[in-house]
Structure 1
Amino acid sequence: MRIDTSKGFKVLSLFDGISCGMVALERAGISVERYVAYEIDKYAIKVSQKNYPQIEQMGDVTTADFTQYKGFDLLIGGSPCTYWSIAKKGREITPDGVGGQLFMHFVRALKESGCKYFLYENNYSIHKDIKAFISEQLGVEPIMINSALVSAQQRKRCYWTNIPNVQQPKDKRILLKDILESGIPWQEKSYAYTTRCQAAIFKDTLEKHRHTMVAEPFIYQRPHGFNKGGIKIKSKMPTVTATGSFIHNNYIIEPIRIGQYGNGGQGQRIYSPYGKSVALSANGGGQGAKTGLYLISIDETPKLKCKIYTVNNGCVECNGKSYFINLPDGDYIIRKLTPVEAERLQTLPDNYTEGISNTQRYKCIGNGWTVDVIAHIFKYLEV
């Protein structure tokens, strides 16, 4: 059944968050006449309003009269999975709890508005009885799509929709290394990004396989021209009085390569900060291939506030226990993902959530949708 969208879609979004649905509609090439959002988190609303000031923010779904949206084309939403997720101790396994009550507002909105199409999303890990209840209420079976097909994270979600003929998206083969601002990953894909990822702890990442973290190579000067971790420095760090082809009119005009690690590939070359940067490469590989690696001397390592982890023979020690890790031998600082990297996991535009604290950015991103999955589904709309 085709619908008249000559003026654009009229969209009703419940539990809208940071309006990932609007981003997905744009990405799918669908024009929007009205987008009405129900959301109560003030930080999520702030992000939404920054990016889409035209969105109509209506507040709490529990007090809404959805009959005013008769004639709307599309209802979308995903009620909070907090109550149903397998990650929650003592989670609800029947639909008669708080999670079920919130979901029923989606059902109520569908009945009261009469939207022609709907899309409801929730966690793949919810109990089978709750999945069956959702299917009964909406009259369709869920489609499981793993965000790994379109992003750098493993994130299985169920989608209930009456949009016809939705198929699995093609694998874009995006890896974790492709979305990093810097550093080296030790896994191909990120674990599912959630609101808890902002509190990532290295030991938990290693043992419980959650809350993805990244290794930043740590290089510091060692006696006799060698660095710990097998990094060999060719010579002393040049000064501005160095001679040779690097100098022109008393300025250094070329990158100064002073060492390497591993096989010395493009991403393993070490440069002096006293020369020019190597050319930035958007399509470069991992490690230093995109930006180059630069040697910074640190006189006293113990003054650093962050802990340095040493990888030796493919193992790293953390809290007195040894773990296998897929990193080259050497010294590393282990960090959590940056807000921009988290946005990229959800296939959001860079700095989409900028303007609120990092803590709230991580939370909003974790509560959001993987945009490219939603955009893929929307492309099956009969418009």
Structure 2
Amino acid sequence: MYAYKPSLFDKRPALRYFSAFSGIGGAELAIKKLFNDSICVGYSEIDQDAIKIYQKHHVRHENYGDINQIDPEMLPEFDLLIGGSLCQPFSLQNTNRKGFNDPRSDSFKGFVNLLKKCDPRYFLFENVMMQEEERNEITRQLGVPLVILNSQHFSAQNRKRLYWANFRIPQPPYAPSPNLEDVIDKTFKGTAPMKFRGLLKTSAPVDRICAINRVKETNEIRFRDDHKAHTVVGSLCYKTIVAVNGIYRHLSPIEREQLQGFPINYTAGVPASARERLIANAFQVDTICYVLRQM
């Protein structure tokens, strides 16, 4: 089991980190907010759209590619290993999920290999809500307790995720957090596609901004009353439809960026469909900031 280690904040040198499954750089944004003098010794990413966005914002960082092809002995020393492997093999939303029988789950093995061979002072691993058997296996391999955090504490998004770290992550105390109304662009003219309109039988409220729920059995539309968006996902579906002052429409890429804690137009430069996918697969930046503050 990996032991808890002393805080970085005691006259620490610059934090050196390796970013696994980096995507568009959510971990990098969070780390820079907390450790302005931090040094990225390298990152691992193979998605070409993600690499394009990442390199636009982090020009000098070196990409080591497929995590399962990295020779740990070739990496510089670092203090923190951070990442969240592909979620599709485990996600409860994936009706065809195969867990550790899915070849894509091998990326988790790459993370464990770097953790064991490089032995960083700290590590953080994140993934989606999954079945208990798979949670327990990840917990066993990482040797630390599982913590469930909801990003609604830090953002306008309801987003539960699983976190494993070799430092304590307490549940956040109550504090005011952003609402969906805070990120909605009232000038955006998007609409819900035709394939949804036949099911959107309930009129959108004219005096509210809210996310909607659909009851699968009856197609009944209900409106969220907690001022939060659903978990941002990488497709155009009911989870990304909002009612904005009498109109149903999908969340825009910019609204998705803000829900995930990214600057406006951070993902500009790739097609809209790629932006939606990349944003959904990213860390929620404000949540990662909270977690890393606990080191």
**1:117 match:** 122
How far does residue 175 in structure 1 lie from its aligned partner after superposition? 1.1
Pick closer, same or farther for the CA change 1:347–1:165 going to 2, 3 Å.
closer
TM-score normalised per structure 2: 0.80
SS at 1:195 equivalent: coil
Pick closer, same or farther for the CA change 1:131–1:154 going to 2, 3 Å.
same
Pick closer, same or farther for the CA change 1:14–1:169 going to 2, 3 Å.
farther
Query: How much identity, in percent, do the aligned residues show?
Result: 31
Residues 1-383 of structure 1: matches in 2 within 5 Å? Answer: 1-2=6-7, 7-69=13-75, 71-93=77-99, 95-124=100-129, 126-168=130-172, 170-182=174-186, 184-186=208-210, 187=224, 188-196=227-235, 199-200=236-237, 205=238, 210-215=239-244, 217=245, 332-381=246-295
SS at 2:240 equivalent: coil
Pick closer, same or farther for the CA change 1:370–1:162 going to 2, 3 Å.
same
8 Å CA contact retained: 1:11, 1:35: yes
Specify every segment of 5 or more residues in structure 1 that has no aligned partner in the other structure, as ranges.
218-331
Pick closer, same or farther for the CA change 1:2–1:156 going to 2, 3 Å.
closer
Structure 1 distance, partners of 2:168, 2:37, is 19
Structure 2 distance, partners of 1:179, 1:351, is 13
Which one-letter code corresponds to 1:369 in the other structure? Answer: F
TM-score normalised per structure 1: 0.62
Q: Size of the alignment, in residue pairs? A: 254
8 Å CA contact retained: 1:25, 1:31: no
Specify every segment of 5 or more residues in structure 2 that has no aligned partner in the other structure, as ranges.
1-5, 188-207, 211-223
Structure 1 distance, partners of 2:96, 2:7, is 44
8 Å CA contact retained: 1:81, 1:123: yes
Structure 2 distance, partners of 1:379, 1:340, is 27
Structure 1 distance, partners of 2:11, 2:39, is 9
Structure 1 distance, partners of 2:291, 2:11, is 17
Pick closer, same or farther for the CA change 1:85–1:39 going to 2, 3 Å.
same
Which one-letter code corresponds to 1:346 in the other structure? Answer: Q
**2:214 match:** none
Q: Based on CA coordinates, which of the two structures has the bigger radius of gyration?
A: 1
8 Å CA contact retained: 2:183, 2:259: yes
Pick closer, same or farther for the CA change 1:139–1:55 going to 2, 3 Å.
same
How far does residue 41 in structure 1 lie from its aligned partner after superposition? 0.8
How far does residue 67 in structure 1 lie from its aligned partner after superposition? 2.3
Which one-letter code corresponds to 2:186 in the other structure? Answer: S
8 Å CA contact retained: 1:71, 1:114: no
Deviation string, structure 1 residues 336-367 (Cα, Å, up to 9, x no partner): 11111000110111111112221111111001
Structure 2 distance, partners of 1:116, 1:67, is 17
Pick closer, same or farther for the CA change 1:97–1:190 going to 2, 3 Å.
same
Which one-letter code corresponds to 1:185 in the other structure? Answer: I
How far does residue 46 in structure 1 lie from its aligned partner after superposition? 1.1
Measured on the aligned residues, the alpha-carbon RMSD in Å equals 2.0
Which one-letter code corresponds to 2:37 in the other structure? Answer: S
Structure 1 distance, partners of 2:161, 2:229, is 15
Q: Which has the higher helix share?
A: 2
Structure 1 distance, partners of 2:150, 2:253, is 22
Deviation string, structure 1 residues 62-100 (Cα, Å, up to 9, x no partner): 21112223531000111111111111122124x343243
Structure 1 distance, partners of 2:102, 2:271, is 32
